[in-house]
Amino acid sequence: MNIASLQFNSKMSLLLIRKNLSSVFPILLIIITLFVATVHATRFEVRNQCHFTVWAASRPGGGKQLLPGQTWSFDVNTGTFPAQIWGRTGCSFNEAGRGKCLTGDCGGHLKCQDFGQPPYTMAEYHPQQFDLDFLDISLVDGFNLPMEFSPTGGGDCKGIRCAADINGECPLDLRAPGGCNNPCNVFNTDQYCCNSTRCGPTSYSRFFKARCPEAYTYPLDSDATFTCPAGTNYMVLFCP
């Protein structure tokens, strides 16, 4: 075999190797991406401890009907910013997953893609910032269900609760079918919505804070954010 033939065979071998690598590389990239996403995903368990049906909702995640005692588990990948979980009540959906809820409705979808319609109690999760997860229970969109938001698996941090009977004690001006509105949803003024940076607690936010001191009660509430180590898994309980 002459030198020209050897050079030709070598070039053909390199071309075949490159071709094989180019076809395999996308598959390897997908596998690596899925592996990394799985390793760094946060597991959420949402449990209905109410004596009635709740339609859980999550962005991202979708939604699911939960009978009393049922649990819905799903993962939220690293980089999701932020995640919201809430419960819907008084819902009716057809086989295609279209319908309507009395509280927390998200555009008529069983599997939520949009924010909920107030009033609803919301768990918020901001993942892995400075090696910490930031979490809170927000009443900025009102209240419809008692809630607990807590770490699972022995996370080195505390849970948050808002378990008061706010619906039963709701001020007359804020009452809504199935829940209790936040004043911003009712009056839509800067005093309650904090469209500027010059707003503070009001008699309405103090009503919520007195009953759920660990919850966000107005947009600039600075005493309601909690942290857990990054990588912690969580449980959200309705009616703890």
pLDDT tens sequence across 17-68: 445 544 443 443 333 334 333 446 889 999 999 999 999 999 987 999 999 9
Residues 36 and 49 in one domain: no
Residues 15 and 86 in one domain: no
Residues 65 and 100 in one domain: yes
The first and second tokens of residue 230, run together, are 């990054």
Residues 16 and 52 in one domain: no
Residues 21 and 49 in one domain: no
Per-residue pLDDT, 17: 43
- Taking the C-alpha atoms of residue 141 and residue 181, their distance in angstroms, rounded to an integer, is 7
Side chain identity, residue 156 = D
- Taking the C-alpha atoms of residue 56 and residue 240, their distance in angstroms, rounded to an integer, is 15
Residues 62 and 165 in one domain: yes
Residues 187 and 86 in one domain: yes
Question: For residue 125, what is the domain's CATH number?
Answer: 2.60.110.10
Residues 166 and 214 in one domain: yes
Residues 55 and 164 in one domain: yes
User: Taking the alpha carbons of 182, 124, 60, 153 in that order, is the dihedral positive or negative?
Assistant: negative
Side chain identity, residue 49 = Q
Q: CB of 193 within 8 A of CB of 184?
A: yes
Question: How, if at all, do strands 92-93 and 99-100 pair?
Answer: antiparallel
Residues 3 and 97 in one domain: no
The domain in which residue 6 lies consists of 1-40
Number of structural domains found in the chain: 2
- Taking the C-alpha atoms of residue 103 and residue 227, their distance in angstroms, rounded to an integer, is 28
Residues 19 and 54 in one domain: no
The first and second tokens of residue 84, run together, are 């919201």
In sequence order, the β-bridge partners of residue 149 are 160, 236
Residues 135 and 116 in one domain: yes
E-strand stretches of 77-198: 83-88, 92-93, 99-100, 122-129, 132-138, 147-152, 160-162, 175-176, 179-180
Each residue's pLDDT, cut to its tens digit, for the chain (240 residues) gives 554 454 445 444 544 444 554 444 344 333 333 433 344 688 999 999 999 999 999 998 799 999 999 999 999 886 666 889 999 999 999 999 999 999 999 999 999 988 999 999 999 998 877 788 999 999 999 999 999 999 997 667 889 999 999 999 999 999 999 999 999 999 999 999 998 777 899 999 999 999 999 999 999 998 888 999 988 999 999 999
Q: CB of 121 within 8 A of CB of 217?
A: no
